[in-house]
Amino acid sequence: MTVKNTLNSFITEYNEKIDLTFEDKLNDVKHLKTNNKNIEAINLLKECSDIARKNHVELEYLQIKYLQLSGEIFGSLDDEISRYKQMEADFLVERAELTLSTKNLNKSEVAWACIWAAVTKYKQLITMGKTGRIAYRDRPGVYCETESPFYIVKKYLRNGISLFDEVSADCLAKNDFQNAFLNLSILGELFLHEIYIGKKIEDDFLYSVQTIGELFYNAGESFLRSFRVMKDRYLTTMWVRPMLPPFMIRDVMQFLFQTGRSYIDNDILSVKCFENAKNIFYQTGSRRYYLLSKDKLSELKQEKEDFEYVVSNAFFEISRGFCTNRATFFEYVASRDRIKETSIRDYFLSHIKLLIKWIAVSEEPRLLGRTDLSIHKKDEVGINCLIAEFKIWGRKNYLNVVSQLRGYLTDFERFGIVVMINQNKWSIKEKYIEKIIKKDSLFITDSLREERFHDSNFIYLASKHHTNSNKSKVIDIYHILLDIEPLMADL
C-alpha cells in the first residue's frame, strides 16, 4: 500500500470519528440552547473549536512530514486542513454570538469571545484566498458591492472593542488603576489590529482612508488614557507590553510603524497613532479631525517633554524670530561680502542654549564627517540626539543635504533638521521640494506636508524617509527655509 493510500485511509477513518463527535456535541448545544442553558452551550462550543484547532494543527504536521518524504503537497490533507479551520472559525463565531445574547456574563469574557472569533475568522478567510471587495458593475460609472466576507470580522472586532471600552470605564470609576491600564492598553492594541486588517484586505467599502484615520485617532486616545492612568502613580504592575498575545500584535507594530521593534511604550504609541491620524486627515481634508489630532499631539508632547517636539519647536521659534526681527546679527552679516553657514549656525546655537536645558554642540565628529549642530539629552548622550545641517542655496553640495544628514544618523535617532538659507529675492520652496526632497531615493511618497508653527505665519516642511535601502526604519526630517534677502534689503 502506498503512502498516499495509507494517508487517505487514515483521514477517512479519522474524519468519521471526529464528525460523529462534532455531531453529538452540536446536538447537545442545540438542546442546551433550547433549555436556556446558554453558559453550558458556550463552554461546549469552545470545546468544539479547540478540537477543530487541534485537528488542523495535527494535519498540518502530517502535511509537513509528507512534503519532506515525497517533495509534494498532498491535496486531500490541504482540503481537510481548510475544513477544520473553517469549523474552528464557525464554532467561535457561534460562541461569540451566544455570549453577546446571554445576560450576566463577565464583560471581559464576552469581549475576548468576540475578539477570538474575529481573529480566527480573518485568518480562515485569508487562508481560503477570499478578497475584501466583491463588486459588480450596476451601470456605467456606478459600482455596487455585495456583503463582504470580512464584514463579520469587523462586526465582532467592533463588539470586542466596545466591551473593552466599557470595562476600562468601569475600572476607572472604581479607582482600579491597574486593570484600567491593562484594559485601555488592550483597547489601543485592538484598534491597531483593526487598522492592520483594514489595510490588508484593501476594502474601501469596509475601511475607507477616513475610517483608518479615525481608528488611528481612537488608538491614540486609548494609549494616551492608559499613559495618564499610570503617570504620577506609584503602581507595581505584573503586565508588560504588549497586552495582546505576541502573535496578534508583533506583525501589527512592524507593519504600521516600521520601528524595527515590537514593544513600544504607551506614550510613544500614542504619539505615533496621532501622527498617523493627523497625516491621514491632512490628505483627506478633514479639517476638524486634523486639528484635533494636532492638538492632542502638542498636548501630549508638552506633557512628556518629548525630545523631538521640544527641539524642533525651539528651531521653529528661532527661525521665526530670525525672519521677523531686525537683529544685530543682520548688521554683522551685512558688513561682510559673503554670508557663511557657520555664522547662521552659531546664531542658532547661541539661542538653542538659552531655550532648552540639554547639551548643544557644533562640529561634532561622526563616522562620515562633522555635523553642523548636534543636541543631546543630558541623561541620554549618544542615544537620543538631534542633528541639524545648515546649507546656503546654490552652494557646496546643497542638493545632497538630505543624504548627508541621513549619513550622520544612527539607529537611535528618530529625526533631523535641515536649515536652508535663501539669498534670492524669490521663493525657493517649489524647487527645494522637487530637487532635494522628492529627488532623495529613500523619500516616502506622499509623506511631504506643509505645517504652520502654532498660529503664526511661519511655515516649515516635513517629510519622511527610510534610513537605508532595507527600509526597516523611518525618520522624520524637518525643512526650514530662511529667506534672508528681504531682511538684508532693509539694512
Residue at grid coordinates 491593562: 182
Residue (of 383, 379, 378) closest to 358 by Cα position: 378
Pairing between β-strand 474-483 and β-strand 415-422 as defined by DSSP bridges: parallel
What pLDDT was estimated at residue 213?
Answer: 92
What pLDDT was estimated at residue 216?
Answer: 93
Phi, psi of 472 (to 5 degrees): -90, -15
**Taking the alpha carbons of 73, 77, 82, 88 in that order, is the dihedral positive or negative?**
negative
What pLDDT was estimated at residue 246?
Answer: 55
C-alpha cell at 54: 487541534
What pLDDT was estimated at residue 93?
Answer: 84
- Listed by start position, the domains of the chain span 1-105, 145-304, 307-489
What pLDDT was estimated at residue 236?
Answer: 43
Phi, psi of 441 (to 5 degrees): -65, -20
Provide the phi-psi class of 347: left if phi over 0, else alpha when psi is between -120 and 50, else beta: alpha
Distance CA 363, CA 461 (A): 25
Going from the first residue of the chain to its last (491 residues), give the mean pLDDT of each consecutive group of 10, the final group possibly shorter: 58 60 71 77 81 78 72 69 80 83 82 87 82 56 63 88 90 82 88 89 82 92 85 47 56 68 72 88 86 82 71 80 61 60 81 79 76 74 74 82 82 82 83 87 84 72 84 83 62 42
What pLDDT was estimated at residue 39?
Answer: 82
Q: What pTM value is reported for the model?
A: 0.63
Secondary-structure class of domain 1-105 per CATH:
mainly alpha
